A and B are shown apart, each in its own frame.
Chain A
Amino acid sequence: MADRLSQLQDAIDQMATQFFSALRYIGTHHDAVPVGNEAKVELARDLIFKSKQIEFLITSLPGIGVSEDEQQERLKSLETELKEAEEERCRAVQEREEAAEKLDAVIRRLRRF
């Protein structure tokens, strides 16, 4: 799925297309008689719905209320944490390999009997 910003931009573009197609519908489907209320209500409802969707997307944009410096701070601390975690992981893998070797040796000795 596209990111929020692209979703928002798509929604805005769809809104513009709806503007056009609503007017066009009213302009072409009337047979010299005004278009019925039902169709108009539906068109209007669609537009309002799209508008609400846009608003929802705006409010759910990521990282609202976070400044760039805060982001930089966070990135830096995450980087150090990641490094530590990676070292920790390497140690754990080492330990696991040692344990595996020990187990292996035990099994090999068992086979001899």
Chain B
Amino acid sequence: MPQEPPPGALSSAFPPPPTYYTHFTEENLAALKSHCLEDGTLPPADSLSDPLYYLVPPPPPDGSYRAFGEEWMVPERYPSLEEAGIRQLYPPTSMAAAAANGGWGGGVDKGKELTVDRTIELRRLSKSLLLNYLELVGVMGMAPEQFHEKTADLETILFNMHHLINEYRPHQARETLCLRMEEQLERTRREAEENRRVVAKVEDILAGLERVAKQADAICGGDGLGTGGLGGVVGEEKVDDGVAKARVRDMEAWEALVGMGG
């Protein structure tokens, strides 16, 4: 019953959406609801007529599936070198063994051995890469027509190195995630601390204002605001007058502050 996909749907870099999305209309959805089983689950797709058939999600694929022109394995795993037809030069890693057992992280401490193994193997491979190149240069000096064997060896070594590195990627991804989370933790904590600091500062200032208010109270109460008459010159008198007025204003403000319990 599934329709033929339009040309380009499977191979183009940006394929169009699958055509069956056009069947998700209000009427069809309502019709599907009426077909639902008693426990509310969807009926098997085979029992439905044509347009409704497409509304039921297909069962998850097993084995492998194709997406963006490539074959993907279920469960996802990196195909081994042997599967790609290349000789594996390093001893089978425990990750490969774990994958063979059906899934990642089969063993307790396998990852640890794995990473240590891996660096040793990679070093070994890089040494033999140089050595093989030396041999290739030697061969080129003596019998240039026999280069095939050595270049094939070099190629195998390069493939092996790349494969080892690629197998390492999930491990690195987790490691990177750890680092990012640590950074975020650090950032969050710093922000909380910064907020607390600001709060403390604000409270400090408010408490300070309260103290100043009390002091102002004491000073003004003692002075009786009698500063206005002290100045001999007219100009000074005016300034003093202004100061006195400002002080009265301030005092009232302080009182308001104290009243708030700031």
Instruction: Give A contacts to B, CB under 8 Å.
Output: 3-5, 8-9, 12, 15-16, 19, 23, 47-48, 51, 54-55, 58-59, 61-72, 74-75, 78-79, 81-82, 85-86, 88-89, 91-93, 95-96, 98-100, 102-103, 105-106, 109-110, 112-113
Closest to A91 in B: B192
The answer, yes or no, to whether B148 is at the interface (CB within 8 Å) is: no
Known: A92-B192, A100-B202. A47 touches B105 (CB 8 A): no
Q: How far is the CB of A50 from chain B (nearest CB, A)?
A: 9
Q: How far is the CB of B85 from chain A (nearest CB, A)?
A: 20
The answer, yes or no, to whether B233 is at the interface (CB within 8 Å) is: no
Is A92 a contact of B195 with CB atoms below 8 Å?
yes
Is A89 a contact of B260 with CB atoms below 8 Å?
no
Mostly, the B contact residues are helix
The answer, yes or no, to whether B185 is at the interface (CB within 8 Å) is: yes
The answer, yes or no, to whether B119 is at the interface (CB within 8 Å) is: yes
The answer, yes or no, to whether B109 is at the interface (CB within 8 Å) is: yes
Query: What are the residues of chain A within 8 A of B198 when measuring CB–CB?
Result: 96, 99
Bound: A112/B253 CA distance, A: 9
Instruction: Give B contacts to A, CB under 8 Å.
Output: 104-105, 108-116, 118-119, 122-123, 126, 129-130, 133, 136-137, 140, 154, 158, 161-162, 165-166, 168-169, 171-172, 174-179, 181-182, 184-185, 188-189, 191-193, 195-196, 198-199, 202-203, 205-206, 209, 249, 252-253, 256-257, 260, 262
Bound: A69/B113 CA distance, A: 12
Closest to A43 in B: B137
- Report 16 cross-chain contacts, Cβ distance below 8 Å, ordered by A residue: A4-B172, A12-B161, A51-B130, A59-B119, A61-B119, A62-B176, A63-B171, A66-B111, A69-B105, A70-B111, A71-B175, A92-B196, A106-B209, A106-B262, A110-B253, A113-B249
Is B256 a contact of A113 with CB atoms below 8 Å?
yes
Cβ contact of A64, chosen from B108, B119, B189, B206, cutoff 8 A = B119
Mostly, the A contact residues are helix
Bound: A105/B177 CA distance, A: 44
Cβ contact of A55, chosen from B126, B136, B184, cutoff 8 A = B126
Q: How far is the CB of A111 from chain B (nearest CB, A)?
A: 10
Q: How far is the CB of B10 from chain A (nearest CB, A)?
A: 29
Is A63 a contact of B126 with CB atoms below 8 Å?
no
Is B191 a contact of A61 with CB atoms below 8 Å?
no
Query: What are the residues of chain A within 8 A of B175 when measuring CB–CB?
Result: 62-63, 66, 71
Is B119 a contact of A58 with CB atoms below 8 Å?
yes
Is B177 a contact of A75 with CB atoms below 8 Å?
yes
Is A106 a contact of B188 with CB atoms below 8 Å?
no
